[in-house]
Structures are given as C-alpha cells and as structure tokens.
Structure 1
C-alpha cells in the first residue's frame, strides 16, 4: 500500500496531526464588549511499544521501543480576540502547535545540524463575523469532514494508535488517536465557512475549502466543498448528539477527470455517567494514506471505517473502552489495507487543569504487497496540563 519512501515522507507531514482546543480560555482582558483570552495545553507520555511484523516474504521480526513523547494532542497555545459591535461580533483566533517528540530527529544529521526542532505549526488563524443570523469564518481552520468524529473521540486527551507501518513509534510528531483506525483527519485548510445559529437543535456548517491537489500538475477548477449537520437534544437527563458531514472536489490530470468525495456520520448518547459513541465514514480518493484527508488520489481508491466507544465517568475518574478499524481498497489493483485498534484507558482528574492518563492499545495492520501483518502493543502513561 505504501512504500518506504512514502512512509518516510509521511513523517514530514504528520506534524500537522491531531486536533483542537479542548480547554477553557483564560480571560486576560474584558471591557465594554471587547475581550482577549488565551488557552493552552501541554502533555507528555512515556510509551512502551512491543512490535511484531511479518513481511511479504513471510519473514518475521520483533522489537521493543520506549519513548517519552507527545500524545494525540500536540502541545499548543491559542489566543482569542472578540469585539461586540451593536448586533455584530468580530472575532479572531490564532493557535500554535508544538511537538516534543523531536529528541532523535537528527540522528542521521551532521554535527552542525544537530539540535531540537520544536516543530512549531500554525493550524488556526482566522477571523469571524457573527450575529443572530449565524457566523462567517474566513481563514485557516480544521475541515468539516469527520470533524465531529474526531472531536467525539474519548481518547482525545490520550494516546491512541501508533502503527509502526506509518512510522509512528519513532516519529517526531504525535500519536494518532484513531486516525486511520476509525476516521480520517480533518486537516486544517484555508476556507470560507458559514455556520448557522441553533435551529431547534440543528446546526449546519457549509464551507468552501482550498482544494487538495492530486498531483503537482493537476487542475482543480472549483474549490473543495465541505458541510456538516449536527443535532443535539436532551430528554429526561439523556443527552443525544448525532451528526453527518461530507466533502467533495474534482481534479483533472492529463485530461482525465477524477472526483473525490467522502461522508462521515455518528451518534453519541450520555446518561448517568455513561457515554456511548458509534461513528463511521466512507470516502473515494480521500484520506487513503494514513487517514490524512488532504492526501487525495484516484477515485478508484475507496476507504471506509468505523469507531465504537464506551466510557464511564465517576467523580474524577473516567474509564474508556474503544475499538476502531479502517479499510482501504484500490479497485484498479490489489493494493488493499486494513488497520484496527482496540484500547482501554483510564483518566484521572487530579486537579482542574491536570489529568493523569494510563492507556493500553493493540494496533494491527494487514497491507497487501507491502506488509502482510503488524501487531503493536503499546502501554502509555502520561499527564495533560490545560488552562
């Protein structure tokens, strides 16, 4: 499915992984309708992985690897500005994301090039205009396809899968949560997006995105279009949330037109401390490489997957069970792949803004013509700081 060169090039892309601000903002200034705030997250995990591989010739190999590295969420800091002007509010957000998993990035470099990279990445830089009619966002933000899928992942503050096939065990960036084992990643994109106000529990978002190129010489006459519909309600202390999202774009290479598209969906139910989530996706030509939805290709490449999760929260303790898988099928060849992850996690809120995490994940891969099999057992222990 993926040759060695493609896997190595993936490492330079993966710093743009994972996800969104999940903490409360700290108010720095507020006066006469104008406010400025900041939010931040720092995390680090000790992870021990035991990997067993079987290659296309049937030869097996094993290795164990210990790392101290970033979890699913990169460390980040964000700044928010808003100004209420009569019936209109103007806002801006910028966020900067950093990986700490760069200690061995320069192992093959010359002495003059040694050092830490820090891998600073800007994923959000946008302005908003909002009112009773809704909100218009202009700038760079995460995409809409599978956005709710990843935001609802119970492992958002945890670790998740680290398939060695994708170079994640020794990668200099982040772990993957359930990217490529249940959903695709809504890669940050330049966009113009409208979000509606609450309409009897329904909220809709529609965006025009900078299209993703199939090849350096491909032609995209129209922008990429993405949309998301979310329904939320509460009935007798039961909270229900359901969603569907989609994306479509067209590319032309050597006078041959290709159509890429995808749909994501899911539902979450919460009651009495329990949370149950089921979500899934289907795509053509989108996210078939490591679940990164900005990497597009031939429409004959199809992928689909699902994620099932159960969680229980008791006081300061949260317990999570998770299983997800994704499959890729190329109808023009036999380059098929299947990736799955099963995990159990324990989150303990020690103090507001400080969470301890213990997590175990078993990730498996079956990739035709490249890797017959991989089994990766990873135990991770970490801490997450937020403000």
Structure 2
C-alpha cells in the first residue's frame, strides 16, 4: 500500500459543493428532431486542517472530496426504433494546484456509446465496472469526504477499502436488460488485468462482470437489493491467478429513514482497485452498514465499514457521521466527522489513524 497511509491525524474540513448531480440533472442544450445534447457538472472544494499524529505535524489544505470535479457531455439520437447515445465525462483534481500549477490532471472515466431499444441497452467504451458498482453508488457519503486517499493529489477515499473496492473504469462491452417488474440485469466483458506479469504472460479470456438489482415497494417500505461479481484469469510461464469477487447489498427506506447494509468477498482480486500488477490468490472481505434520516432540507448519516484483506495485508475500519444540507437544487453543504484506522495484519502494527471534522460553509 502507498506510504501516504502512514500519515494519521486530525483534520478540520470546511466544504461547499455546487453541483448538478450527474447526467440525470443535466442542462439540456439542444433537443430537436429526435436529437439531444446536454451538459452536466459537479464542483467542490474543502478546507482541510490536518493534525498528523504519527508525523507530529499539522497542515492546512484546500482539497476536493470523495468525488472529483467533473464535467460531462451527453448525446442521443433517435434512429427508427433505436436510440443511439453516448457520454464523455472529464474528471479533474484540484489537489495538484502547486505540484502542477497550470497543468491540472484530467482523467476520462466515461467515454462510451450506447444503443437502446425494446431489448434493453448495449454499451461500448469505457465506464465504471459492474462489480461493487451499487455498493459505491449507493454509499450515503458519496458526496462527502470519507477516509484518506492513496495519493496527496488524488481524491479522498470515502469507504473504498473500508467496506467495498472501487469499480474501476474499464474498457467494456456491456448489456443491460429492460426493467422487468423492478428486476434489472447487466453483464459484460471487460479488458482483463495482467496480474501475472512476466515471461509468456497472457489473459486468454476477457474479464467478466455482472450485476443484478431489484427494487420493490412493500406496504410503503422501498426496498433495493443487488448482487454483483467479477471473474478473470491471468497466467504466465510459471504462475496462474484466478481472480473472483462478489458484492451484495440491501437498502430499506420508509418515511425519511433509510438503512443500508452491503459487503463483498474476493479471492485473488485487489480489494481497493483493479490494475495491472502481480497479485496472489489471497482473500479479502468487507462490509458497510449505514443509516440516514432526511428531515426537510437536511439528511443525517451514520456510517461504519470494515475491510479485512490477506491480499493487501491490512485491516481497516471507518466511521463517519455527516449532515448534508440542500440550500437549493444546485448548492449542497456538508458537515462530516470521520474516523479511519488501518492496521498491518502480519505485524499488528498501527499503519494509519486519521480523524476528520468537516464543518459546513454557508454560501
């Protein structure tokens, strides 16, 4: 794991987030003759004052939160019985403002085309993975700060590695079924990770990922459940690694109260994010439990997650208490207190301890 985990501490974070929450809140620029074009964006900044207890230092920073600043472009055109579409989104850090003063890093996490019809949808291009997708997208602190990240110029990590792995954006061809009584199925082939670098390394089959979700209303209780997974094989002249992962979760909501429980288990699969690099067939598992209550413009959240990883040789736990306040449809304020701990399994030594207090800024 990255050495930045060794820095623990206390942080005071003031955050104001101005956002249009994804494509569903996009601003329509053009809509004529069956052709549409829209733009969406998300912008945030945090003031962070961190007391690193291991290094015995205190630092002030202006950083972004769990979600980076982003701008996205959406296209669609009706062609007979089909709708041809596409999305391109650009995600940018503000944490490198002095490291690269005029050359802020931009990454592309979504660049794909879609074909929609009565059969469902086919997506081709780059998008987030299906394994652990609902685990992270339904995280109650998705718009918050969460645990420390891997690199000073990157995002904070929310509950990645403390309850779920990251659904790494990957090249893919994915099919999504129509909604059948609340049941939806998605399955696809993905660019496989080279987890056995060396002589004669090969991945003879693509990576497979799938997710099944189900939503229902039972006497006023809204239920959402999901099951997702990943499987791939990589081998070289001397080594073969089978990677598998299973994610799951259930959310129940009634009268402003929402309770969510999710988890994952994996073998030979990175419990943080999947990338090319040598990996062993060792286990990891984790869970996340959350409760939230919405009262008017305010949402109160309590969150706790753990991950136990033989693969990464670590045990983590993360606790968050947060308040989200909607000033209006385009301005959200966040107050969050977060406690993160990491221990090295093989030695039992403390590896990281970070406490973050996030205070609301009225804007």
In 2, distance between residues paired with 1:45 and 1:364?
21
Q: 1:377 and 2:358 equivalent?
A: no
Which residue of the partner structure matches residue 365 of structure 1?
Answer: 342
Q: What SS does structure 2 have at the residue aligned with 1:150?
A: helix
Q: Cα offset for 1:116?
A: 3.9
Q: Tell me, yes or no, if the aligned pair for 1:44 and 1:69 is still in contact at 8 Å.
A: yes
In 2, distance between residues paired with 1:313 and 1:262?
33
In 2, distance between residues paired with 1:259 and 1:384?
50
Which residue of the partner structure matches residue 120 of structure 2?
Answer: 134
Which deviates further from its counterpart, 84-93 or 148-157? 84-93
Judged with a 3 Å threshold, the aligned counterparts in structure 2 of structure 1 residues 173 and 4 are, in CA distance, closer, same or farther, namely closer
Q: 1:202 and 2:202 equivalent?
A: no
2:72 paired residue among 67, 78, 81:
78
Which residue of the partner structure matches residue 185 of structure 1?
Answer: 166
> TM-score by structure 2 length?
0.89
Which residue of the partner structure matches residue 330 of structure 2?
Answer: 353
Q: 1:229 and 2:212 equivalent?
A: yes
Q: CA RMSD in A?
A: 2.3
In 2, distance between residues paired with 1:279 and 1:264?
8
Judged with a 3 Å threshold, the aligned counterparts in structure 2 of structure 1 residues 6 and 71 are, in CA distance, closer, same or farther, namely closer
Judged with a 3 Å threshold, the aligned counterparts in structure 2 of structure 1 residues 350 and 89 are, in CA distance, closer, same or farther, namely same
Which residue of the partner structure matches residue 33 of structure 1?
Answer: 34
> TM-score by structure 1 length?
0.84
Q: What SS does structure 2 have at the residue aligned with 1:176?
A: coil
Q: Cα offset for 1:296?
A: 5.9
What per-residue deviation string (whole Å, max 9, x for no partner) do you get for residues 315-367 of structure 1?
1101100000111115xxxx731011101011110111100111110000101
**How many aligned residue pairs are there?**
346
Which residue of the partner structure matches residue 305 of structure 2?
Answer: 324
Q: Tell me, yes or no, if the aligned pair for 2:242 and 2:281 is still in contact at 8 Å.
A: no
Q: Cα offset for 1:215?
A: 4.1
Q: What SS does structure 2 have at the residue aligned with 1:148?
A: helix
Q: Cα offset for 1:371?
A: 7.8
Q: Cα offset for 1:295?
A: 5.5
Which residue of the partner structure matches residue 13 of structure 2?
Answer: none
Judged with a 3 Å threshold, the aligned counterparts in structure 2 of structure 1 residues 371 and 296 are, in CA distance, closer, same or farther, namely farther
Which deviates further from its counterpart, 266-275 or 209-218? 209-218
Judged with a 3 Å threshold, the aligned counterparts in structure 2 of structure 1 residues 381 and 178 are, in CA distance, closer, same or farther, namely same
Extract unaligned runs of 5+ from structure 1: 8-19, 54-60, 107-114
Judged with a 3 Å threshold, the aligned counterparts in structure 2 of structure 1 residues 98 and 23 are, in CA distance, closer, same or farther, namely farther
In 2, distance between residues paired with 1:256 and 1:344?
44
